[in-house]
């Protein structure tokens, strides 16, 4: 099978998965007890008023009519209107997406920058203090809940020492860049970075620990292979052997995990976002769930779902490109 055909097939599968996600997310509303009207009208509102609010929100139509309307709307980029605020769900969801992506990418960068060197050091100095240190770090990183870590970071770094802000991010990366380009003010980037550090560490620690372990075990595996002895026998310096040959081969599975984990981070940033009051999809979703604002819940879940599908498709395609055997499986 040609690579193009493989990608087309994956894309088609992706479309079906997205349709499935949309349908499941839509049906969730009817499977969940509690009505949105409870939150739009005050508790104890007159039953007649509740009925008129439900009618106004379009909640009295039959399920199939609501489903067709919803899917038709989605195809036109319309996710409906928030029950609570009356604003367009798509506008609110997409307004929140950059903050979440920034956080997920920053957490990934934290992980890569720390984890790969740590994993390499750990693998090449086995059973030495550096290895024990890295192993301890990864064990702690994997077992520490990120909401607890977030609160501790805020308490120590922000409240105790006043080094970094706790929350209330005033601007996003795009605005920071606009300030730099249009007003030649680089301070925006500095402010953005200050607000990003703690959430990125809180969210990225688990991930860092995971990649450290993966790198360590991958390197140890690779170091034991025949080609390593062969390159050494050729007289190549140990640094070249380790970093040019062994690390490169170790990185292939790590890149796959990185790609897939990025999707998990986008979906899993919910708690970290709540701790740091981060204006991303996670806090939007939590707020919407609390008040049964279904257009927002559906919109957020669909965007997260599409994100997963897209990232998976890209990782699959890249993998197929790197390892053509996958195409023929």
Residues of the shown chain interacting with another protein in the complex, contacts defined by CB under 8 A: 33-35, 38-47, 49-50, 52-53, 56, 84-87, 92, 95-96, 151, 154-155, 158-159, 161-168, 170-171, 175-176, 178-179, 183, 185, 187-188, 191, 194-195, 274-277, 279, 283-284, 286-287, 290-292
Minimum CB separation from another protein for residue 153, in Å?
Answer: 10
Minimum CB separation from another protein for residue 311, in Å?
Answer: 25
CA–CA separation, 317 and 173 (whole Å): 29
Q: Which is nearer to another protein, 57 or 115 (CB)?
A: 57
Q: Which residues pair with 81 in a beta bridge?
A: 88
Minimum CB separation from another protein for residue 231, in Å?
Answer: 51
Q: Which is nearer to another protein, 21 or 284 (CB)?
A: 284
Minimum CB separation from another protein for residue 316, in Å?
Answer: 35
Minimum CB separation from another protein for residue 69, in Å?
Answer: 19
Q: Which is nearer to another protein, 147 or 319 (CB)?
A: 147
Residues 6 and 327: beta-carbon distance below 8 Å? yes
Q: Which is nearer to another protein, 47 or 77 (CB)?
A: 47
Secondary structure (3-state) at 36: coil
What residues contact 7, with CB distance under 8 A and at least 6 apart?
313, 317, 320
CA–CA separation, 28 and 5 (whole Å): 35
What residues contact 38, with CB distance under 8 A and at least 6 apart?
292
Q: Which is nearer to another protein, 51 or 131 (CB)?
A: 51
CA–CA separation, 43 and 37 (whole Å): 9
CA–CA separation, 154 and 272 (whole Å): 12
């Amino acid at each position: 099978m040609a690579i193009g055909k493989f990608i087309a097939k994956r894309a088609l599968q992706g479309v079906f998965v997205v349709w499935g996600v949309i349908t499941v997310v839509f049906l969730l509303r009817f499977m969940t007890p509690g009505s949105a009207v409870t939150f739009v009208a005050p508790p104890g509102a007159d039953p007649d008023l509740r009925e008129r609010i439900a009618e106004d929100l379009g909640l009295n139509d039959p399920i199939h009519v609501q489903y067709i309307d919803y899917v038709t709307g989605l195809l036109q980029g319309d996710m409906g209107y928030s029950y609570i605020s009356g604003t367009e769900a798509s506008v609110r969801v997409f307004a929140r997406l950059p903050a979440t992506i920034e956080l997920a990418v920053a957490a990934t960068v934290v992980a890569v920058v720390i984890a790969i060197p740590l994993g390499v050091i750990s693998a090449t100095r086995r059973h030495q203090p550096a290895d024990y240190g890295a192993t301890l770090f990864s064990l702690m990183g994997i077992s520490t809940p990120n909401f607890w870590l977030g609160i501790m970071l805020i308490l120590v770094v922000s409240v105790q020492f006043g080094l970094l802000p706790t929350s209330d991010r005033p601007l996003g990366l795009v605005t920071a860049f606009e300030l730099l380009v249009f007003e030649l003010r680089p301070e925006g980037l500095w402010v953005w970075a200050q607000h990003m550090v703690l959430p990125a560490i809180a969210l990225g620690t688990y991930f860092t620990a995971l990649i450290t372990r993966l790198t360590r075990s991958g390197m140890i595996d690779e170091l034991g292979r025949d080609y390593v002895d062969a390159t050494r026998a050729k007289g190549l310096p140990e640094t070249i052997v380790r970093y040019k040959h062994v690390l490169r081969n170790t990185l292939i599975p790590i890149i796959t995990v990185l790609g897939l984990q990025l999707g998990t981070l986008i979906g899993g940033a919910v708690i970290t976002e709540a701790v740091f009051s981060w204006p991303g999809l996670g806090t939007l979703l939590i707020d919407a769930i609390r008040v049964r604002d279904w257009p927002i819940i559906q919109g957020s879940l669909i965007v997260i779902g599409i994100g997963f599908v897209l990232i998976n498709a890209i990782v699959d395609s890249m993998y197929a490109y790197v390892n053509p055997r996958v195409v023929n499986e």
